[in-house]
Amino acid sequence: MKTIIIFAVVVLLAYMSVRQRVQRNLRRKEWDNIGERKKSPFSVALTNLVGTAGGIYLSLVMLATFLELDIPSKVSLINIHLEPLAAISLVLAIVQPFVMSVLGR
């Protein structure tokens, strides 16, 4: 039961993050894309979320390798087994648009 609740909370936070990114993208005008096919705001926001998480993940992996940190390959959170760096990067990517809203950027 706890696994389902945690999964639901993560999905809800990811949805809210993507929605925040969609709203930010709709406020921006892109004059270079005139005449090209339009991408949906949702697909742009989801691509942005995955790209941000991937960039953070690569940076964390390089930092851990450079510092020769001994990071476990899997961490168990209740019944969910995750790679720690991937989980951290996904959480940071989900939180990023809310932090940007608070900072006013």
Would you say residue 82 lies in a domain? yes
Tell whether 44 is covered by a domain: yes
Provide the pLDDT for residue 103: 85
- What's the total number of domains in the chain? 1
Q: How many CA atoms does the CB half-sphere of 39 hold within 13 Å? A: 13
Which amino acid, 73?
S
Whether 50 maps to a domain, the answer reads: yes
Structure pTM?
0.69
Q: Is residue 84 part of a domain?
A: yes
The answer to whether residue 7 sits within a structural domain is yes
Per-residue model confidence (pLDDT) at position 29? 62
- 8 Å CB contact between 3 and 82: no
Whether 35 maps to a domain, the answer reads no
Residue 6 pLDDT class (50, 70, 90 cuts): confident
Could you tell me the residue range of the domain that residue 90 belongs to? Answer: 2-30+40-103
- Distance, in Å, from the CA atom of 59 to the CA atom of 88, rounded to the nearest integer, reads 11
* pLDDT, tens digit, 9 for 90 and up, residues 51-79: 999 999 999 999 999 999 898 888 887 78
- Report yes or no on 58 lying in a domain: yes
